[in-house]
Amino acid sequence: MKLWVSAVVVAIVLTVCAASTRAQAPAPAPAPAAAAATPAPNGLQRIAYIDVQRVLARSAAGVAAREQLERDKAAMQKEMDGKRTELEKLRDEMEKKGALLTPDARRDKQEQFERKRRDAARLADDFQKELEKKESGLLQKVLQDVSGVIERVAKEKNYYLVVEKRGAGVLYGSTEADLTDEIIRQFDREAPKQAPAAPKKP
């Protein structure tokens, strides 16, 4: 049970992270006024890209969100471990004393075991959904906050267009066009040590 729950929880984290990144990738910043835009020497407008997954992994707010999720997952895992121990104890009791029990008593024990097993399975499913909801809320908050930073930096540097590296399918990008590290630094400066609040339960 412990390994199964852990595997499912990890799978949910990875799946939701990918879904959240695709859904919340920052939209291209509005084009600044024509006079403010600084075209490149060949006449093309300046274009940059952001690796949103790197922002989530390295920014202070992203790290804080991950740490909060890890704490929540650990608490859920602890409760599931307790359920597993309870089931193992009941199963051992049935195996050791089953021959001494009356048919009715054995049936009662078996029904009790099956009931607790179903309850543990439902709890594991509830934990998965709860963790999914928490992660979605935490990462959405980080992405909403960082989108404003991206827009400001892009306008300050006169970029005409900023794309998300993975979502836009960038096949090549020079290091000069990569704003990711600068966005992380600016994001951390604006919200130092400020962990995103966990979404409230309905």
Overall average pLDDT of the 28-41 stretch: 42
- Give the side-chain half-sphere CA count within 13 A for 44: 5
C-alpha torsion angle, residues 12, 13, 15, 16 (rounded to 10):
100
- Structure confidence by residue, pLDDT tens digits, 111-157: 988 999 999 999 999 999 999 999 888 888 888 888 888 888 888 88
CA dist list (Å): 180 to 65, 127, 139, 150, 153: 19, 33, 17, 9, 11
Q: How confident is the model at residue 171 (pLDDT cuts 50, 70, 90)?
A: low
In degrees, rounded to 5, the angle at the alpha carbon of residue 128 between the alpha carbons of residues 122 and 134 is: 135
Q: Which long-range contacts (CB under 8 A, 24 or more apart) does 165-173 make?
A: 165/49, 165/50, 165/51, 165/52, 166/21, 166/51, 166/52, 166/53, 167/21, 167/22, 167/25, 167/52, 168/49, 170/49, 173/49
Q: What confidence tens digit (pLDDT) does each residue in 94-117 have? A: 888 877 878 888 888 889 889 999
Dist. CA 76–CA 78, nearest whole Å: 5
The values of phi and psi at residue 179, to 5°, are -95, 5
Q: Measuring CA to CA, which residue among 29, 20, 22 is closest to residue 183?
A: 29
Cβ count near 102 (within 10 Å): 8
Residue 119: the pLDDT is 92
pTM: 0.57
